[in-house]
Amino acid sequence: MNINKKFISKMYSTITTPDFLYVNDNNNLAFTFKISISDNKYKNIIVNIDGYFPDGPFRKPIINWKQPLIKDNQLDIMYKPHSLSYHAGGEHDINIGRWLDSTLVENNTENLFYCYLLAEKYNVKHLISNKWDELFYLRSYFTKDSTTWTPAIVKTADNFFNKLKGEIWFFSELKYNIYNDLQHFKNNNNSLSPIQKKFINNYYVIILLQLINKFNNIPEFELILFDKIFSFISNDNIYKKLWNLDIFKWNITKDKLINHFLEFNKLKLLNLF
């Protein structure tokens, strides 16, 4: 049995939804499935995914939005996300990887934390670096120019599809909420944006603020000592990650955080519009 046949057999034996898989005319393992995603114009759409493995597990699969049949010279525009979700061009490319890497995220506290929560939600924490930056597309397995592909992703078929779906959901929800934030700034310049509200009201943020204030009430305690305390804690700890964003070193109450964001929003409006 050659490598390709072994790969096909392995994938069929490790998937809970075998209807996703088929062998195409070139005897390559292929797949197709539907997925519901957030969309910048229509809020939510169901799209069809079509892909195949050109070289078994050794090369990243080719994955496209599956185009419907043309009827009466009209092509249904709903077969892929609206062009509003393409931040850096590529809206005419049917390759899903192009849509993934056409994502621009402003590197700020609320966005980075929101993306961390999204990565946890969809089990794609490989998109988040220890340093926490906005370059998620560089760590994606499926962006068009990605160099992070590894055969380990197809250790089981279920693992592969979970990673693929997780990345698609992560980027679609991220694009959708970035768009909503921009619409907010266009229409309202004196309140918190939706992502900023998520940050302010997040459980981890609230607990960290309570912890900071508890220690801050100790006579002669200095906040810089938190750096020492967190140095003994794992880098994966969410409270350490939040503390390392620095914003809590100067804004130690919820009201101060809110004022910080409102002042920041005024400056942002001057640059955006």
Q: What is the pLDDT of residues 89-129, one digit of tens each?
A: 999 999 999 999 999 998 889 999 999 999 999 999 999 87
Please report the pLDDT score of residue 53 as a whole number: 96
Query: CA 188 to CA 203: how far, in whole Å?
Result: 26
User: Position 111: which residue type?
Assistant: N
> Above pLDDT 70, what percent of the chain?
92
Confidence of residue 73 (pLDDT cuts 50, 70, 90): low
- The residues, any chain, with a CB within 8 Å of residue 63's CB and separated by 6 or more, are 49, 50, 51, 95, 96, 97, 142, 164
Residues 245/212, Cβ–Cβ less than 8 Å: no
Q: What is the mean pLDDT of residues 150-159?
A: 94
Does residue 230 have a pLDDT over 90? no
Residue pLDDT, tens place only, 180-226: 998 888 886 678 999 999 999 999 999 999 988 887 777 766 767 77
Name the average pLDDT for the chain. Answer: 88
Q: Which two tokens stand for residue 202?
A: 């997040």
Query: CA 5 to CA 28: how far, in whole Å?
Result: 9
CA–CA–CA angle 222, 199, 122 (5° rounding): 120
Burial group, residue 111, by CB count within 10 angstroms (0-12, 13-18, 19+): buried
Residues 94/67, Cβ–Cβ less than 8 Å: yes
More confident call, 51 vs 186: 51
Please report the pLDDT score of residue 2 as a whole number: 66
Please report the pLDDT score of residue 33 as a whole number: 95
